[in-house]
């Protein structure tokens, strides 16, 4: 077990963030995730350069509310046009276009369709950033040199020190037993 | 995911023919040394090389010169007036609308590849989706330019928005032109967000590999602090899936809406129910031809033959062939309906296309869009660059001519022969069009040099070693938060 080596010495008493364990293949990582969940850990996460199929099942992640966010954005877009069109063309400045009714739904469908898609898109992208708490330019894991490979070929599990089941030695041993190639302490 | 094995032999490199299927194992989509790190290295080296290939500098010099020409032409048109263009009664639409419809169409392949092929779980899309999406964004930029200057007084363009104003005037929500503006506005935003969200993990790769402080800062800000967390990946994949669903509806909707500019009018040759699918299929056809025409030089120039393999070219050409054949069918149907309608005006409009003053372009369309793509029935043509590239370029010529003929031949033969007048673009029209091509290539070349050209995280996820199996049958309980 090596300790984090690039901590700024000026910072007095750096807080322990947790343990970072490196894995070398996807199967070991998935098995370790299942084992950690079964061992009762709550505050931990896997870090991979690509989405691992089945990881949400292995970690026991619940489905997110993103589809509902997208739906609300899409409906918001649709109803914006269905309300805005009669507001402009039937109430604020009533005008007859080509003998059509002031409030004719069919002629407003193409715009309602487009704005529904726009609303759904904008909402789901913002929902992603809010739920993922991004942008987040600092994270304790970024202090680890080996963690730079998480966007290349590194696969990691980090267990946070605030987890009720966390213990520096026992958790470290468990991670090693689960096939971690290296375990390192991360300080905040 | 791992139910079908993938053959992965270390000796296979870019020129390997991976287009064959033996029915037992999947052909490899990544050739050469297919480790995660090697994929990162091959893609990053394009953006990390201290100098781009010489051809990049030559192309960039030409493109930026054309952007300069574009700026001068726009300024000239706005300060002098739109009379500098060939638009005149009765052909008021001319080049600006031709180019608008053409560029919007080119945008469609990127959305098709990243949205529809994602929903169909086509793994080969990962090699080309990123730069196809980039062509979408840049083509939409070029498209949006033309209606913007076509209004002649761009400072009044905000009148299209429902802005409260002293005149009490509001936009006409029944007008296809307003539908069109909203559809293109939506398309711009959706394609940009789709492109950017998809790029975040790869921008993080650039950040983590950066050697200089400037690169680290710029890519760091763009990557938003992405750290590959499984919780983030779950949200990210869900977002991409929802965006793909929305964009699938959009890709079928945008050109349909553009076609209503024509179809909702009362002119023979435009007033047709076939127009929405006709414009959409034509758009996807020209878009795939563009992606094919860009993929061929890009894989040679940037050494990406292991990632954009012959199979990718093969598939692109096949879709081009399918779309070209649907376009052919629609042409036949249009002429048939004109004949079968018994409507003299309708029949006249279609005869004008192939026998009127623009008959050369009418036949050029039939040659480029109906005959040329048929070469892609042959695998040799699909995988040989000196056949596939000219064919793709001819498809683009054909689709631009189609936009020209649809617009001009309907307008130049007005209802009264006394109003007939032919359309001829001026040098300003031609240079503005050339400038828009320069704008597209400037943006595209900058993208190739400074942004991840291939979706690294997605390519990694289709490698055989990225698949695992979850050995757990107990009901999932909550972990994390």
Q: What percentage of residues in chain A have a pLDDT greater than 70?
A: 93
Assign B292 a pLDDT band (cuts: 50, 70, 90): very high
Burial status of residue B382 (CB atoms within 10 A of its CB: 0-12, 13-18, 19 or more): buried
Beta-bridge partners for A159: A19, A44
pLDDT (0 to 100) of residue B403: 95
Chain centre to alpha carbon of residue A176: 27
Query: Average pLDDT, stretch A5-14?
Result: 56
Nearest to B242 among A81, A124, A148 (CB): A124
A1: pLDDT confidence band, cut at 50, 70 and 90?
very low
Residue A135's pLDDT is: 92
With CA atoms as reference, report the closest residue to B188 among B147, B217, B159, B216.
B147
Of B455, B380, B450, the closest CA to residue B30 belongs to B455
Backbone φ/ψ region at A98: left (φ over 0), alpha (ψ -120 to 50), beta: left
Which range among A129-143, B24-38, B181-195, B201-215 shows the weakest confidence by mean pLDDT?
B24-38
Q: Is residue B73 packed enough to be buried (19+ CB in 10 Å), middle (13-18) or exposed (0-12)?
A: buried
**When comparing pLDDT for B476 and B211, which is higher?**
B211
8 Å CB contact of A34 and B242: no
> Taking every pair of C-alpha atoms in chain B, what is the biggest distance, in angstroms?
82
Query: A36-65 as b/e, with b when 16 or more CB fall inside 10 Å?
Result: bbeeebbbbbbbbbbbbbbbbebbbbeebe
Using the predicted structure, report yes or no on whether residue B200 has a pLDDT greater than 50. yes
Please state the rounded mean pLDDT for residues A109-130: 96
Query: How large is the average pLDDT for residues A32-55?
Result: 93
Mean pLDDT, to the nearest integer, of B184-192?
Answer: 93
pLDDT score at B23: 66
The pLDDT tens digits of the residues spanning B350-370 come to: 999 999 999 999 999 999 999
A contact residues 136-155, partner B, Cβ 8 Å cutoff: 136-139, 141-142, 147-153
Say if the Cβ atoms of A61 and B174 lie within 8 Å. Answer: no
Nearest to B479 among A48, A59, A124 (CB): A59
Residue B450 CB-density burial (10 A; 0-12 exposed, 13-18 middle, 19+ buried): middle
pLDDT at A98 over 90: no
Point out the residue among B189, B458, B466 whose CB comes nearest to the CB of A118.
B189
The nearest alpha carbon in chain B to A47 belongs to: B229
For residue B3, pLDDT beyond 60: no
Place of tokens 């030409």: B62
* Chain A (1-20) residues lying within 8 Å, Cβ to Cβ, of chain B: none
Alpha-carbon distance of B37 to B15, in angstroms, equals 21
| Domain layout of chain A by residue ranges | 2-63+136-187, 66-131
Please answer yes or no on whether A131 and B235 come within 8 Å at the CB atom: yes
Would you call B238 and A67 a contact, using CB atoms and an 8 Å cutoff? yes
Distance CA B219, CA A133 (A): 18
Average pLDDT over residues A152-181: 92
Residue B14's CB: how many other CB atoms inside 10 A?
Answer: 17
Domain boundaries, chain B: 36-162+173-466
On the question of pLDDT at B480 being above 50, the answer is no
**For residues B303-329, average pLDDT:** 92
Reported ipTM: 0.91
pLDDT at B307 over 60: yes
Contact A89 B470 (CB under 8 A): no
Q: CA B128, CA B134: separation in Å to the nearest integer?
A: 10
pLDDT at B452: 93
Contact call for A60 and B35, based on CB within 8 A: no
- Domain B36-162+173-466, architecture per CATH: Up-down Bundle (1.20)
Which has more pLDDT, A188 or B25? A188
Measure CB to CB from residue B170 to each of A25, A57, A88 and give the nearest one. A88
pLDDT at A168: 87
Q: Which chain A residues touch B186 with a CB distance below 8 Å? A: 114-115, 117-118
A108 pLDDT more than 60: yes
pLDDT higher than 80, residue B478: no
CB proximity A160 to B under 8 Å: no
Q: Name A186's bridge partners.
A: A18
pLDDT given at position A20: 95
Instruction: Share the mean pLDDT of chain A.
Output: 89
pLDDT of residue B474: 57
For B204-252, give the secondary structure using H, E and C. Answer: HHHHHHCCCHHHHHHHHHHHCCCCCEHHHHHHHHHHHHHHHHHHHHHHH
B202-249 confidence digits (pLDDT tens) = 999 999 999 999 999 999 999 999 999 999 999 999 999 999 999 999
A-B contacts (CB, under 8 Å): 258
Angstrom distance (rounded) from CA A173 to CA A150? 22
Asked if residue A11 has pLDDT above 60, the reply is: no
B152: left (phi over 0), alpha (psi -120 to 50) or beta: left
Chain A partners within 8 Å of B173 (Cβ): 81, 84-85, 88-89, 107-108, 111
Residue B270, pLDDT above cutoff 50: yes
Q: Which residues pair with A158 in a beta bridge?
A: A20, A45
Share of chain B above pLDDT 70, in %: 94
Max distance between CA atoms of chain A, in angstroms, equals 80
A174 Cα to chain B: minimum distance (Å): 17
Helix B36-48, helix B176-209: angle, nearest 10 = 110
Q: How far from B275 is each of A157, B264, B290, CA to CA, in Å?
A: 54, 10, 22
- B253 Cα to chain A: minimum distance (Å): 8
DSSP code of A103? S
Of A3-7, B124-128, B280-284, B477-481, the poorest mean pLDDT is in B477-481
Q: Residue B134 pLDDT > 70, yes or no?
A: yes
CA B79/CA B355 separation, integer angstroms? 38
Nearest to A50 by CA among B129, B123, B234, B132: B234
Residues in chain B, total: 481
The count of other CB atoms within 10 Å of the CB of residue B72 is 14
Query: What H or E segment, with its residue span, contains residue B30?
Result: none
Residues B17-74 have pLDDT tens digits of: 777 776 666 677 888 778 899 999 988 988 888 888 899 999 999 999 999 999 999 9
What was the pLDDT predicted at B9? 56
Average pLDDT, whole number, for chain B? 89
């Amino acid at each position: 077990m090596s300790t984090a080596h690039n901590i700024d010495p000026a910072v007095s008493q750096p807080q322990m963030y947790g343990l970072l364990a490196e894995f070398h293949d996807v199967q070991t990582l998935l098995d370790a995730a299942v084992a950690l969940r079964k061992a009762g850990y709550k505050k931990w996460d896997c870090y991979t350069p690509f989405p691992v199929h089945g990881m949400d099942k292995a970690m026991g992640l619940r489905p997110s509310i993103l589809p509902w966010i997208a739906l609300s954005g899409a409906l918001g877009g649709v109803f914006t046009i269905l309300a805005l069109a009669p507001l402009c063309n039937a109430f604020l400045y009533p005008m007859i276009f080509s003998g059509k009714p002031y409030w004719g739904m069919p002629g407003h469908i193409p715009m309602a369709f487009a704005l529904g898609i726009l609303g759904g898109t904008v909402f789901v992208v913002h929902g992603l950033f809010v739920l993922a708490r991004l942008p987040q330019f600092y994270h304790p894991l970024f202090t680890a040199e080996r963690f730079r490979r998480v966007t290349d070929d590194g696969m990691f599990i980090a267990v946070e020190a605030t987890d009720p089941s966390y213990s520096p030695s026992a958790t470290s041993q468990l991670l090693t037993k689960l096939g971690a190639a290296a375990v390192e302490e991360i300080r905040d | 995911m791992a139910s079908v094995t993938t053959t992965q032999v270390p000796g296979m490199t870019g020129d390997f023919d991976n287009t064959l299927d033996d029915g037992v194992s999947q052909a490899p989509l990544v050739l050469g040394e297919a480790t995660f790190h090697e994929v990162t290295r091959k893609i990053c080296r394009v953006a990390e090389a201290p100098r781009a290939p010489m051809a990049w500098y030559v192309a960039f010099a030409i493109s930026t010169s054309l952007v300069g020409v574009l700026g001068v032409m726009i300024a000239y048109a706005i300060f002098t007036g739109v009379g500098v263009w060939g638009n005149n009664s009765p052909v008021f639409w001319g080049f600006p609308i031709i180019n608008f419809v053409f560029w919007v169409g080119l945008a469609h392949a990127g959305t098709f590849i990243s949205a529809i092929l994602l929903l169909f779980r086509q793994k080969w899309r990962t090699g080309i989706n990123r730069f196809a999406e980039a062509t979408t964004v840049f083509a939409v930029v070029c498209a949006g330019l033309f209606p913007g200057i076509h209004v002649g007084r761009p400072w009044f363009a905000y009148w299209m928005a429902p802005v409260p104003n002293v005149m009490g005037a509001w936009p006409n929500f029944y007008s296809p032109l307003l539908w069109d503006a909203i559809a293109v506005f939506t398309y711009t935003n959706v394609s940009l967000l789709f492109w950017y969200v998809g790029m975040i993990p790869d921008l993080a790769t650039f950040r983590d590999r950066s050697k200089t402080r400037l690169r680290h800062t710029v890519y760091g800000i763009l990557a938003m602090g992405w750290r590959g967390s499984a919780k983030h990946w779950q949200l990210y994949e869900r977002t991409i899936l929802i965006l793909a669903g929305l964009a699938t509806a959009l890709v079928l909707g945008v050109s349909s809406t553009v076609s209503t500019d024509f179809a909702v009018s009362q002119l023979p040759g435009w007033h047709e129910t076939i127009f929405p699918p006709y414009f959409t299929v034509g758009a996807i056809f020209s878009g795939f031809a563009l992606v094919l025409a860009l993929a061929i030089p890009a894989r040679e120039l940037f050494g990406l033959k292991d990632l954009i393999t012959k199979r990718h070219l093969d598939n692109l050409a096949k879709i081009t062939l399918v779309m070209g054949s649907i376009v052919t069918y629609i042409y036949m149907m249009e002429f048939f309906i004109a004949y079968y309608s018994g409507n003299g005006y309708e029949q006249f409009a279609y005869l004008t296309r192939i026998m009127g003053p623009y008959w050369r372009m009418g036949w050029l369309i039939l040659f480029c869009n109906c005959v040329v793509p048929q070469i892609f029935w042959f695998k040799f043509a699909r995988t040989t660059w000196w056949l596939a590239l000219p064919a793709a370029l001819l498809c683009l010529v054909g689709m631009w001519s189609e936009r020209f003929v649809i617009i001009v031949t309907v307008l130049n033969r007005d209802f009264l022969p006394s109003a007939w007048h032919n359309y001829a673009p001026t040098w300003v029209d031609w240079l503005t069009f050339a400038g828009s091509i320069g704008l597209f290539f400037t943006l595209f070349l900058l993208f190739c040099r400074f942004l991840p050209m291939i979706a690294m995280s997605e390519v990694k996820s289709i490698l055989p070693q990225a698949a695992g199996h979850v050995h757990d049958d107990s009901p999932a309980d909550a972990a994390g938060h």
